A and B are shown apart, each in its own frame.
Chain A
Amino acid sequence: MQHVLQVEGAERRFGSTHALCGADLHVLAGEVMALLGPNGAGKTTLIRSIVGRIRLDQGRIEMFGKTICEGGSAISPDQHTFARLGVVPQEIAVYPDLNAMENLRCFAELQGMARTEIQEQTAWVLEWTGLQDRAKDLAKTYSGGMKRRLNIGCSMMHRPQLLLLDEPTVGVDPQSRQRIWEMLQQLQREGTSILLTTHQLDEAQQISDRITIIDHGKTAASGSFDELCQTTIGLQRRVIIVSAQPIAPESLPTWEVDQHLAVCRVNNVATELADVLAVAKQAGVPIRDVQIEAPSLQAIFIHLTGKELRD
């Protein structure tokens, strides 16, 4: 599949801080790529350098086959390439004293769209975001979810082929979040490539085709969920035995034991679960409950980035 975005060895330093230390990223045409990382990992710096707001010290960014930034040199002023890009900032960057239609028109005009084109696109975006009924209300009167949707809509007026979203669902309720994910899936079905950053790991796992995890300014892992599982925690399921009494660790020496819990890993739950339960009974564990845990992006993320706080 064709790359729409390629970032190779991106490095950027702000004073003594290394924001990016050789980050790599590839987005294929029509895919949803989740860019994950702890706070301060360099996600926003990477997004801003793709948008052309930050110059790289080292490395290269290629978009739609054109180099837009090469380490140490100026960013290409190629308007045509940037016109194929849409950016949704983390902040709700709309004018609160304008209504939805006016906001959409404003950002479309800044993108250089013609008036007739704007009218057509406004109708589509309002429908896509579900804001038709409130189209003439001021943005400041909207709920958090509506503002978020308008924020995304403003970046879709020119129908970009690549959409970058920096934490598009932060601070919204589950219903609004669900609606936003549906909107993005619709875009993907229509062929738009999407690169998004988020801390909603379960949803990132659900919506994205591939995932890139960056930490300390460089790429820690990249690939599909299964690929990440294989290269990190493995595809094994965790079988968790909950005991009615505290378990003696020496009774299950190859298991992870913690008070009332005993954990082991299996490759195939269907064939191996009965054996696991038999071993537990043999060790004298009074089984109260059994839980089976599939590998999660959360587990992969913690595995790759560690447990220490990054604030």
Chain B
Amino acid sequence: MRTLLWVSWLNLLRDKVALGTVFVLPVIFFSIFAAIFVGMSGGGGGGSSAVQKLNVVALDLDESRVSQSLLGQLQSTTELELTVQRPSELTQAKNRDDIRQEVRTGKYNAGLVIPADFGRHFPDFAGQGPAIELIYDGANPMAKPMIGGVMQGSAFTAAPDLMMERGFEFLDQNAGWFLTDQQRTILQALQQQLRDATSLANNENSDESEDTNATDVGLNALNGLVRISASEARDDTDRAQQQNQAKRKRSSMTAYYAAGIGVMFLLFSTAGAAGSILDEEESGTLERVLSAIRSSQKLLLGKWLFYGLMGVVQLVIMFVFAWLVFGLDLWTVNHAVGFALMTVLTAAAASALGVMLATICRTRAQLNGVSTVVILIMSALGGSMVPRFVMPAFMQKTSKFTFNGWALDGYLNVFWYDDPNHSLVQSVATIVPQLAMLVAMTVAFLLVARSAAKRWEVQ
């Protein structure tokens, strides 16, 4: 038994790849996931600066002191990266549909539309005032609850004087016996102090703050201190279509996971299949084939083509299954064409990566170790395992260097950020950067493979 343990240890010790797989890979993975989840909680060495802020646009149609104060408070939070747009400052008029479109296309994670009468009714305890419209991207399930919570928190500190004034007015109207004249006088003095303090605080947050009529206030306690009407960026306002919208949402999330898991396993299967090149090298079959065809380029292209076709079939099976079982919206012209383009180029790039790894490695064992490390890291960073929107900002940037990141972005553009009103050409145009990057990756991988395969050529 002692001898067996000793021999096993020596074998492991002398196989550097296996050693790395056993001891280094788990640490790398731990680090990646720790970075993701520590970043989410704002703890750890990265601190709150590492947390990915939600990118939000706000259209302030009210432009009152209250709306400006509220938006100023939101801008000062660590959770949001808020861009405020005011009609008085815009060269071109905007409306809620423009905001919706910007969220739909992925420019912002969410949009806020402050209605024109918002300030006059704030705080509207009676629930009669207009609601702030929150338009969110359903691809980011954290957006809606996070912004809602931040909004309610900010509302407490946005205009405390108005809250108190309108609160007591509300009580006075509904229970007039509540305050004496003396109490009312004291409260008016306190209200003035709060107004001054708020004005000072807002000036610190935003130079754009300006005094407005203090009587333009209201109150609504329906959702807290501000009433929020939330809608998904892809939802239409027609309530009759809600059922279809829910279906679309499910379909889009299915597309996300089909793409994420599909791309990861595509990489595993192509890398595994490409290992047959090494098996053939070891058995002497490769030498025999090369003696017959006299070209390692032909060999590589043949292998690449086969693994690419295999990858296409694999992805088609994955998405057709998603269509059959999970109702993925695959059969619109825009989706089908986008899917076809993405699938062919994704499979081509994955195949090229597999061939490259197989030519770089000298043995099947090396390939297994290296491909496992490369694929798992790319999948983790690229969003195949964990949605990228939960990752810290620096990790989201890192994903741009991964195969999975680009492939996933392309599929999301096809199935998620699509605009039903787009023509086929417009729809395809949205994935051109991803397609171009996949082509570039394919070429780069094949060139590296070509270089590494020179060892099989005439010596």
Chain A interface residues toward B at CB < 8 A:
51-55, 74-75, 77, 79, 82, 87, 89-96, 107, 110-111, 154
Contact = CB atoms under 8 A, between A and B. Distances in A.
A91 B289 CA distance: 13
- A-B complex: 7 closest residue pairs judged by Cβ atoms: A91-B284, A93-B284, A110-B292, A93-B288, A93-B285, A89-B284, A54-B459
Interface in B281-312: 283-285, 287-294
B458 interface: yes
A51 B284 contact: no
A118 to B, nearest CB: 14
B267 to A, nearest CB: 23
Given A77-B294, A110-B293, A52 B458 contact: yes
B379 to A, nearest CB: 29
A92 B284 CA distance: 7
A52 B284 contact: no
B322 to A, nearest CB: 31
Contacts of B284: 89-93
Contact of B458 (A55, A90, A110, A111): A55
A93 B288 CA distance: 7
Interface in B9-65: none
Nearest to A74: B458
Interface residues of B, number: 13
B292 A93 contact: no
Contacts of A52: 291, 294, 458
Given A52-B458, A53-B459, A55-B459, A111 B288 contact: no
Given A89-B284, A107-B292, 18 more contacts: A52-B458, A53-B459, A54-B458, A74-B458, A75-B458, A77-B294, A89-B287, A91-B284, A91-B287, A92-B283, A93-B283, A93-B287, A93-B288, A96-B283, A110-B289, A110-B292, A111-B292, A154-B288
Which label, helix, strand, loop or mixed, suits the secondary structure of the A interface? Answer: loop
Interface string B431-459: 00000000000000000000000000011
A95 B277 CA distance: 12
Interface string B257-297: 00000000000000000000000000111011111111000
B288 A89 contact: yes
Nearest to A45: B459
A96 B288 CA distance: 14
Contacts of B291: 51-53, 87
12 contacts: A53-B458, A54-B458, A55-B459, A74-B458, A75-B458, A91-B284, A91-B285, A92-B283, A93-B288, A107-B288, A107-B292, A110-B292
A107 B290 CA distance: 11
Contacts of B287: 53, 89, 91, 93
Contacts of A55: 458-459
A30 to B, nearest CB: 23
Contacts of A90: 284
A130 to B, nearest CB: 22
A55 B457 CA distance: 10
Indicate the member of A51, A75, A79, A96 with the most B CB atoms within 10 Å.
Answer: A51
A64 to B, nearest CB: 17
A110 B288 CA distance: 10
A75 B457 CA distance: 12
A81 to B, nearest CB: 12
A110 B291 CA distance: 9
A82 B290 CA distance: 12
Contacts of A79: 294
A77 B295 CA distance: 10
B71 to A, nearest CB: 67
Contact of B290 (A53, A77, A111): A53
Given A77-B294, A92-B283, A87 B288 contact: yes
Contacts of A82: 294
Contacts of A87: 288, 291
Contacts of A91: 283-285, 287
A9 B284 CA distance: 28
A69 to B, nearest CB: 10
A111 B291 CA distance: 9
Contacts of B458: 52-55, 74-75
Nearest to B456: A53
Interface string B59-95: 0000000000000000000000000000000000000
B305 to A, nearest CB: 16
A133 B290 CA distance: 30
Contacts of A51: 291
A159 to B, nearest CB: 15
A89 B281 CA distance: 12
Indicate the member of B285, B290, B459 with the most A CB atoms within 10 Å.
Answer: B285
A79 B295 CA distance: 12
A110 B285 CA distance: 12
Contacts of A54: 458-459
